[in-house]
Amino acid sequence: MCSKKVYEIVSLPKTSIIIVFHNEAWSTLLRTVHSVISQSSSGLLEEIILVDDASESSKYWLGHQLEEYVATLPLRVIVERTRSRKGLVRARIQGALASRGDVLTFLDSHCESTKGWLEPLLDRISKDRTKVVCPVIDTISDKTFEYIPVRGNVPIGGFSWYPDFTWIDTPKREMDRVNNDPTEALRSPTMAGGLFSIERKYFFQLGSYDSGFKTWGAENLELSFRIWQCGGSIEIVPCSHVGHVFRSKSPYSYDEDPGITLVRNTRRTLEVWTDSFKNIFYSLNPQLQVTGYGDISNRVKLRETLGCKSFRWYLETVYPEHTLPLEFKIIGMVRNEMSAMCVDVFARGEKAKGDAKVSLFPCHGIGMSQIFVYNAFNQIQHDNMCLDAHFYDEEVAYSDCPRSAEITTASWEYDPITSTIMNAATRKCLDAVKSQEGDIRFVSTTNCNNTQESQRWILTDSGADERMWADY
């Protein structure tokens, strides 16, 4: 269906391609550059701007060799260099300032564009300059470098509790809006961050990027909130595909603990864009509050100048599927009294069929993977996952939270007097069971017996003092 679409190329805006990199390999960098040149229809490319973010001299191919190589290419290719390591945000700003296309298209430095990837992106922008558009991101294996297309329905972007970018199933409301046409651009609450096109003037009008961001992380959510709240929109365009090497671990050196950089970037996002909803994020992830976030006054002023809408408006209108607990009974840990162990989403039992089985880990008190919300529907929720029991066996697993008060196997009755948690459907009680080694690892449901210590649980309150955020 995509290949049948016809675009009037002469009427489309030209784009600059901006690729920032730090220590990228020669092969992956050139794969990105060459695929852009060979897979873009002529007339759509203004130039390619490579921004070297102070790669180390041991990556000698990124020095003169790169400049000499790109001079042989049949297109204007500019190599910009940051004077010292700036991080991807400031490197992208430098690239954008050096560019001259009507549109900016950002790519990571380890991508492969596919035939006809630009037309459907530029077409959307030519119809509405406030649209920020993303291709579907296919996978390039980091083991074999083979190209693996996304199969089936195209997901859109959301965010998790941490908060972190996540893919979510495209909701029915959105498929209805596009009349189930699989080629139609899908509105997306957030973008992954690396691959997108935006009109150049609009990019600067919206405040380009927050130059207070360091190295890596969270700029994707910051830009996403900003685009929507300030009158633009984000779309994922199913007829445009670009592959990306998803790496299993971060290859960079940082000038500080990477966790601190990410927290600072994340807090700048929350403090500027999420109004009082930031308190929900801080309750769900208390570790965020340990690090400062620097001066944000310019970004707050930008938000005022642009007259941007509230985060409440964004959640209600753009992302009603978000998992933030706007109403809840308890936020805290699910602590087993006998063992001093807590339900932990990162702990995955070795007996688990799949990896969904609920396991315990010593309580660490720093929130994160041990934070659960006893929500308004009596479900025990972590982000999009809820503790779910079965009628046919004793296993407790994580499953997608039912978003209603209907009594299901994901409904639990917590009795703070007896410290028991009974499943409202199976009427069995949450129990901590021993693994073969004898240490308590798993959560299951067994017949209720409140003299049994392993069935005693405390839903500890982390001190979040608002029971309802709805007034914000």
Nearer to ligand UD2 among residue 21 and residue 457 (C-beta): 21
Residue 88 · residue 215 · CB < 8 Å: yes
Tell which one of 187, 244, 382, 456 touches ligand UD2 (CB under 6 A): 244
Nearer to Mn ion among residue 25 and residue 326 (C-beta): 25
Q: Two tokens at 225?
A: 């909130």
Q: Two tokens at 245?
A: 């090497």
67 Cβ contact list (under 8 Å, min separation 6): 79
Q: Residue 91 touches which of ligand UD2, Mn ion, none (CB < 5 to 8 A by kind)?
A: ligand UD2
- Determine if 199 is a binding residue for ligand UD2 (CB under 6 A): no
Residue 314 · residue 270 · CB < 8 Å: no
β-bridge pairing 385-389 and 77-81: unpaired
- Determine if 272 is a binding residue for ligand UD2 (CB under 6 A): no
Residue 207 · residue 299 · CB < 8 Å: yes
Q: Residue 303 touches which of Mn ion, ligand UD2, none (CB < 5 to 8 A by kind)?
A: none
Tell which one of 53, 199, 222, 395 touches ligand UD2 (CB under 6 A): 53
Residue 413 forms beta bridges with which residues? 422
Q: How far apart are CA 13 and CA 276, in angstroms?
A: 40
Nearer to ligand UD2 among residue 216 and residue 398 (C-beta): 216
Nearer to Mn ion among residue 29 and residue 410 (C-beta): 29
Nearer to ligand UD2 among residue 86 and residue 357 (C-beta): 86
User: Which of 423, 422, 331 minimizes the C-alpha distance to 382?
Assistant: 331
Distances (CA, A) of 265 to 84, 162, 219, 233, 310: 19, 12, 7, 22, 20
Number of residues lying near ligand UD2 (CB under 6 A): 23
Q: Two tokens at 67?
A: 């400049």
Q: How far is the CB of 53 from Mn ion (least distance, A)?
A: 13
Q: How far apart are CA 6 and CA 428, in angstroms?
A: 60
- Determine if 87 is a binding residue for ligand UD2 (CB under 6 A): yes
Nearer to ligand UD2 among residue 101 and residue 193 (C-beta): 193
Type of residue at 424? A
Tell which one of 35, 99, 197, 220 touches ligand UD2 (CB under 6 A): 220
Tell which one of 137, 230, 333, 432 touches ligand UD2 (CB under 6 A): 137
- Determine if 194 is a binding residue for ligand UD2 (CB under 6 A): yes
Q: How far apart are CA 368 and CA 67, in angstroms?
A: 45
184 Cβ contact list (under 8 Å, min separation 6): 178, 238
- Determine if 49 is a binding residue for ligand UD2 (CB under 6 A): no
- Determine if 264 is a binding residue for ligand UD2 (CB under 6 A): no
Q: How far is the CB of 244 from Mn ion (least distance, A)?
A: 6
Nearer to Mn ion among residue 111 and residue 132 (C-beta): 111
Q: Residue 117 touches which of Mn ion, ligand UD2, none (CB < 5 to 8 A by kind)?
A: none
Q: Residue 314 touches which of Mn ion, ligand UD2, none (CB < 5 to 8 A by kind)?
A: none
- Determine if 385 is a binding residue for ligand UD2 (CB under 6 A): no
Cα three-residue angle 178-240-164, rounded to 5 degrees: 80
Q: How far does Cα 422 stand from its chain's mean position? A: 34
User: Which of 399, 381, 404 minimizes the C-alpha distance to 389?
Assistant: 399
The DSSP symbol for 178 reads T
User: Would you give the binding string for ligand UD2 spanning residues 9-48, x where CB under 6 A is met?
Assistant: -----------xxx-x------------------------
Nearer to Mn ion among residue 142 and residue 439 (C-beta): 142
310 Cβ contact list (under 8 Å, min separation 6): 229, 275
Q: Residue 216 touches which of ligand UD2, Mn ion, none (CB < 5 to 8 A by kind)?
A: ligand UD2
Residues in contact with ligand UD2 by the rule CB under 6 A: 20-22, 24, 53, 85, 87-88, 91, 108-109, 137, 192-195, 215-217, 219-220, 244, 252
